[in-house]
A and B are shown apart, each in its own frame.
Chain A
Amino acid sequence: MIGVGDVTTQALHAALSGLAERSRVTADNIANINTPRFLAGRTDFESALKDSLNMGETPTVSGGSVARSLEPTNTNGNNVNLDDETVIATETGLRYQLALNALDGKYSLLRTALQAS
């Protein structure tokens, strides 16, 4: 059934908010690229989203928790790697646009249904 709050929309919403959180964490990592004793943050929403979809539940939108990277640190105790962060930022941006396009398609279906009369 197509609705405003169906599983597809909820899943895309959860993905968007998880990706926004990841983009926030990446920005935090890059802002602290020269901060001594700063460990890079990592966030995972995919596994929780996948589990709830596999169990046939409607996914809930929640802010993912931030774990600290265990990569080896530099001499100043910082382990932010700009190469990794750039790749993550690019990938997150593209995934975000992908989810947005899917949501946009969903909404244009709804719009078509509303204009049918």
Chain B
Amino acid sequence: MGVFDTLGISASGLLAHRKWLDAVSDNISNINTATSTSQSAFKERFIEAQAVNYGSGEGGVRVATAQFGSGQGRVVYEPKNPLADKNGYVRYPDIDLGDQMAQLIMAQRGYQANLAVIDRATKTYQAALQLGKG
């Protein structure tokens, strides 16, 4: 157990939520990325969070892995698209914008909660560092 453990634990929370924000922004920026029907669509990115040494003391969170959604997407009739196959179809990723926006808010609020802990812990530690000066 270190001296300023709380800060490190909150920093791990910041990192995990920032990676989640990155995944959401990747998904949203590719929401209209068309591919030809012979290729797989852009795959939605998911972040899998995991507690560090759950129940054994160390504490914190880490991103265990990134998972990817289906590459099947949805097939759209767009005969003027240069990527269209001979029947006039292209493939778009099957990403729900409403779902992504909800995830964006959750990740943002989680990030803010961790920042608030860092702020509070810093104030507490600063008070401790004044001990014996008065």
Q: Which residues of A contact B (CB under 8 A)?
A: 20, 23-28, 30-36, 38, 63, 66, 68, 82, 85-86, 89-90, 93, 96-97, 100, 103-104, 107-108
Shortest distance between the CB of A109 and any CB in chain B (Å): 12
Chain B residues near A30 (CB-CB < 8 A): 10, 13, 113-114, 117
A-B contact count (CB 8 A): 96
Q: How many angstroms between the C-alpha atoms of A63 and B57 in the bound complex?
A: 10
Q: Which residues of B contact A (CB under 8 A)?
A: 1, 5-7, 9-10, 12-13, 16-17, 20, 49-51, 54-55, 57, 59-61, 106-107, 110, 113-114, 116-117, 120-121, 123-124, 127-128, 130-132, 134
What are 7 A-B pairs at a CB distance below 8 A? A23-B121, A24-B1, A30-B13, A32-B51, A34-B49, A93-B120, A93-B124
Flag if A23 contacts B6 (CB, 8 Å).
yes
Instruction: Tell me if A's interface is mostly helix, strand, loop or mixed.
Output: helix
Shortest distance between the CB of A12 and any CB in chain B (Å): 11
